[in-house]
Amino acid sequence: MGLHFGNLYKIRNIITYRISPFELKAFGGFFSHGFPNTIRRIREEFFNVVPPFLIGYLAYDQIKKRHQQLMRKNPADYENDV
């Protein structure tokens, strides 16, 4: 066949137009579609994501404080040392 990847078949009587990737808008529709969609997704998933992270952080913090407390020496054990 000897055709390049972009020319593997021929379509007759159909005209196609293409825009170069360098001429496309980099942020086309971002402020009208993308940003509101991002806000909507965050609002919908907030209560599915934040509570588990909050519970995990609080548990980690309490465990860390308890570990530090258990690692301290008791001064009453060393009162009679000379």
Record the tokens describing residue 72, joined without a space. Answer: 């301290």
What pLDDT is stored for residue 61 in this prediction?
A: 98
Cα distance from N-terminal residue to C-terminal residue, the chain:
97
Backbone Cα Rg of the chain: 32
Q: Residue 1: pLDDT band by 50, 70, 90 thresholds?
A: low
Q: Which two tokens stand for residue 21?
A: 């990737």
User: pTM for the full model?
Assistant: 0.54
pLDDT, one tens digit per residue, over 10-59 is 677 777 777 777 777 878 888 898 899 999 999 999 999 999 999 999 99
DSSP states of 27-75 = TTTIIIIIHHHHHHHHHHHHHHHHHHHHHHHHHHHHHHHHHHHHHSPPG
